[in-house]
Each structure stands twice: as C-alpha cells, then as structure tokens.
Structure 1
Amino acid sequence: MRMLRWSAGVTKLDKIRNEYLRGTFKVADIKEKLAEKRLRWYGHVMRRDEEHPVRKALNLSIPKRGPGRPPSTLLGTINKDMSKAGLNAETTQDRSSWRLRSRRADPK
C-alpha cells in the first residue's frame, strides 16, 4: 500500500481509504492475489504424476502436536481457498478450466 500511496501522492493524513486507492489503480487485494497464486501452484502440482516427490509430500501425515491451537498447514489453507472459489480437486486435471476458474483476483 505504501507504494500505491506514494504513486498517487497521497499520505495517511489525507484520510483516503486503501480500497479507494486499489480501485483507482485497479490493483487486487493482497489476500486475493495470494489465494490465486496458491491455487495456481496446487493445480500445477496435482497435474503431475503420482510418483513425483512434491505430490508425495502433499500426502505426508502431520504429527500430533501439544495443547493449543494447531498451526495452519498449506493444504488446509488451499482447501479453504478452493471452497471459497467453489472448486474441487477433480477440476485440476483440466488445465484450461482450472485456470479460468481459479484466476479471479485482477479487477477489470
């Protein structure tokens, strides 16, 4: 956001909201962009063969932890992103469909 504010010549004292600046420059929110990149990577990995090391690493079991909130995992975050976007794992095999449905972050 600092770079956008600098480009626009706006400071925090001007009290202009970040959403307005992102809309002016047609830049997506960073959360949406990160989710898009994670889904893009996940589709790439899932199209590889079953014996590929990265694909095997996704199926590794997670050891039990002590008390407290368990840390979030990459696969858990990807599953949340997929449910938000209305995608499922079978869609990853069709590259053009996956690409069309997983890319949403760039405003028009």
Structure 2
Amino acid sequence: MLRGTAGVTRLDRISNDAIRKLFGVASIVDKMHEARLRWYSHVLRAKNDRVRKIGLSLDSGKGPRGRPKRRWLDTLYEDLEAANIHLDQAFNWEKSRQHIKKADPAYKRDKR
C-alpha cells in the first residue's frame, strides 16, 4: 500500500524498509511486539478470577515428541527482554509504554 502511495514499483528496486522510513511507519514486527506487550499489561491488571488471567497460569501439559512448540509466553518474555522491561514493570502500563511505543504516523496525524 505504501508503494502505491509513494509511486514506487518493484522495478525501481527500492526496499520496503526504505519506503517505511520515508513515510515514518514502524515495521509490522515492531507493532506486533507492542500489541503483545499491551495485551499482557491488560491481562495483568485484570482481576484474578477472569478467564484471560487464569489462562496465563495454565500448564500446557505433556506435548508430543520432538521440538517443543513455540508458546505465547516464550515470545512475550523475549519481547519484554528486548524492550528492557521487567515482568513486574509490565503491570504499570504508564511507565512501560514509553519503552515499547513505536512510531505510528496515523497516531501522530490524529493527535493534531
């Protein structure tokens, strides 16, 4: 979509990263990290009897042989480590949001 807006085709051999930088758009991977951390903070602030909070503490049990499947919590811990946020700090969304908020041009545009 950004390619069309920029008037650039694949024949111009300009990378998607360069186009995203031109428009000031964060990569989709960064936005996914941000969304996961935001959801985790939301779950931590929920009451203990809520299904979403109970689901965090459930054990997945014994899996099939071979390599273990990638779990959501494993990915989340990597995101927390990359953002330099301790597990306990994720509870306070106001403090941790500065560490994980990525540039989003729509947010800047709507804030005017």
Describe the SS at the equivalent of 2:59.
coil
Taking structure 1 as the reference length, the TM-score comes to 0.88
For 1:46, the equivalent position in structure 2 comes to: 44
Aligned-residue sequence identity (percent) comes to 35
**Following the alignment from structure 2 to structure 1, what is the Cα–Cα distance between the partners of residues 83 and 6?**
32
Where does the alignment leave 5 or more consecutive residues of structure 1 unmatched? none
State the SS of the aligned residue for 1:86: coil
Q: Does 1:81 pair with 2:83?
A: no
Q: Equivalent residue for 1:101? A: 99
Structure 1 CA distance for aligned equivalents of residues 63 and 93 of structure 2: 37
Q: What is the TM-score normalised by the length of structure 2?
A: 0.85
Distance 1:31 1:82 in 2: 14
Match for residue 28 of structure 2? 30
Out of 42-51 and 31-40, give the one that drifted further: 42-51
Q: How does 1:12-31 map to 2 (within 5 A)?
A: 12-31=10-29
**For 1:70, which of 50, 68, 80 is the aligned residue?**
68
Aligned residues: 105
